[in-house]
Amino acid sequence: MNSQVRSSRTKSPFFAKKLTERQIVTKRKTSLFCLVLIAATSAAAWNESSSMEAVAEFVPANNPLEVQTIVAQNVPYFARERSYTGIVHESQRSKISFQRGGEVITLLVDEGQRVELGQKLAEMDDRHIRTRRAQLVAQLAEVEAELAELLAGPRKETISAKRAELEALDAQTAVLEKQLARRKLLVENASVSREEYETFHYDFRAARARADVARRQLDEMLAGTRLEKIAAQRARKTQLDARLADVSYDLEDTVLVAPFSGRVSKRYLDEGTVVASGTPVLELIDDEQLEAWIGLPPAASLSLYEGNRQKLTVDGEQFEAEVYSLAPDVDRATRTQNVILRFVESSKRVLPGQVVRLSVSEQVDQAGYWVPTTALTRGTRGLWSVYVVEDSQQKEIIGRRDVELLDTVGARSFVRGTLQQGDRIVASGTHRVVVGQHVTVSSDSVVVARHNKSALEN
């Protein structure tokens, strides 16, 4: 009995650790993963060593890479191209209206039609104006006739009649004078009464006064019309002339004509509309002479002057234009100076309201180097780098220069930094070289350097 118990304790101790089925599966998976990881690492190491051996066989150590270089040339400044946007405007735009009110009876043009300078566009009812004009013409004719009579003076027949009347009055006065003398003697002799004598004396004085009036009238006729009467009549004629001219202007204003050659942009009303003075009837634009209005920074407009010709771009097409005027001040809202350029030749491909662009070259007083854009590689901290060929122990090896990119124009870039005058810059293929690599400069590096230099300077 005791031996059986002792043997059972030996085979299965009480505190022995037993693994569950789940723990056994997990342990097996872990072992399998470790084996796979070791195999993958061994394969990667073998591939790397194989590739290194292949590269070593493909590029022998005694056959360095050929590169093309250009010589760095320091320049004191560079020209920066900047493009500015504006709007195409017509040189003239006018809302045409009648200067007086009335009914529009005729409209002769419509939107989009071409009109010439002085062409009739619309008409207004003018019946009342013509009636008033006829009245003034009649009054003027009357005043002119009276003025002509005053200038001509009295007729000869009238003067002759007045002279005959004066002679008759003089004769009558002479007879009465003799009778008065006889009556005076009779009064002194008491042959007639004093009353009869005074009656004859009164008749004599009246006859003499009548003769004096006739004599003065005859003198006035012989002297002609007074200048004051002629001047007053001329003033009345001038007044009527002015009123008639005013009515004639009103009559002309009933016809609307084109103030310049252009095209009808908008029609605001139709026939039969009663309009007030100044109500727009048509809108006319001059689409032959177009202008580009572009706002430039004051520094950019310094290179422009009146008469200077520039290239404008509209919808990808270039047009030649001439600087017409520059604003004398800066716009307070946009802080730009408005420049107006007129297109040299009219083109149906350009319409008012289109967007136009102007490229202006600005001189930047910053020293640096022009390099091909293909020579630039990404650096650190926002900088760029270029590779240069250096001489080291009678070998040509690759060096690195950190630069700052200032501007890019097409296939070239302007940089500044640790470059030095005369450095040989790797022009292209920078992805094939690393710092310290042994290279050789190709035979056409001088040609490339000269070509790039002349191109950059131009």
Length of the chain measured in residues: 458
Query: How close are the terminal C-alpha atoms of the chain, in Å?
Result: 115
pLDDT value of position 41? 66
pLDDT value of position 148? 86
pLDDT value of position 42? 62
What b/e sequence results for 38-61 when a residue is b if at least 16 CB atoms lie within 10 Å of its CB, and e otherwise? eeeeeeeeeeeeeeeeeeeeeeee
Q: What is the CATH number of domain 65-77+366-457?
A: 2.40.420.20
With residue 338 as reference, give the H or E element that holds it.
strand 337-343
pLDDT value of position 43? 61
Sketch the domain layout of the chain as residue ranges.
65-77+366-457, 96-120+257-283, 131-247, 286-364
- Answer whether 96-120+257-283 and 286-364 agree in fold: no
Distance of CA 10 to the CA centre of its chain: 111
CATH domain 286-364 topology: Elongation Factor Tu (Ef-tu); domain 3 (2.40.30)
Nearest-angstrom CA–CA distance, 128 and 333: 52
Nearest-angstrom CA–CA distance, 376 and 48: 30
pLDDT per residue as tens digits for the range 106-143: 999 999 899 999 999 999 999 999 999 999 999 999 99
Question: What is the CB neighbour count within 10 angstroms for residue 404?
Answer: 14
Nearest-angstrom CA–CA distance, 118 and 68: 70
Torsion of CA 262, 268, 273, 276, to 10 degrees: -80
Nearest-angstrom CA–CA distance, 93 and 259: 10
Q: Is residue 433 a contact partner of residue 425, using CB atoms and an 8 Å limit? A: no
Residue 278, classed as helix, strand or coil, is: coil
Nearest-angstrom CA–CA distance, 446 and 443: 7
Q: Is residue 147 a contact partner of residue 237, using CB atoms and an 8 Å limit? A: yes
> How many angstroms separate the Cα of 383 from the Cα of each of 76, 386, 404?
21, 10, 6
- Judged by phi (left if over 0) then psi (alpha if -120 to 50, else beta), residue 310 lies in beta
Residues with Cβ within 8 Å of residue 98, at least 6 apart in sequence: 104, 122, 124, 253, 254, 256, 275, 277, 278, 279, 281
Distance of CA 312 to the CA centre of its chain: 14
Nearest-angstrom CA–CA distance, 177 and 193: 18
Segments of the chain with pLDDT less than 50: 1-16, 48-61, 444-458
Q: Is residue 323 a contact partner of residue 339, using CB atoms and an 8 Å limit? A: yes
Residue 223, classed as helix, strand or coil, is: helix
Q: Is residue 375 a contact partner of residue 426, using CB atoms and an 8 Å limit? A: yes
Question: What is the CB neighbour count within 10 angstroms for residue 239?
Answer: 13
What number of CA atoms fall less than 13 Å from residue 154's CA on the CB side? Answer: 18
Q: What is the edge-to-edge ordering of all strands in the sheet holding 280-285?
A: 93-97, 280-285, 262-267, 114-115
pLDDT value of position 237? 92
CA geometry: angle at 382 spanning 378 and 386, to 5°? Answer: 35
With residue 404 as reference, give the H or E element that holds it.
strand 395-409
With residue 138 as reference, give the H or E element that holds it.
helix 127-152
Q: Which ranges in 224-380 belong to alpha helices (H)? A: 227-252
CA geometry: angle at 132 spanning 126 and 134, to 5°? Answer: 100
What b/e sequence results for 177-197 when a residue is b if at least 16 CB atoms lie within 10 Å of its CB, and e otherwise? eeebeebeeebeeeebeeeeb
Q: Which ranges in 189-330 belong to alpha helices (H)? A: 194-223, 227-252
CATH domain 96-120+257-283 topology: OB fold (Dihydrolipoamide Acetyltransferase, E2P) (2.40.50)
pTM for this entry: 0.53
Residues with Cβ within 8 Å of residue 441, at least 6 apart in sequence: 66, 67, 68, 69, 389, 396, 424
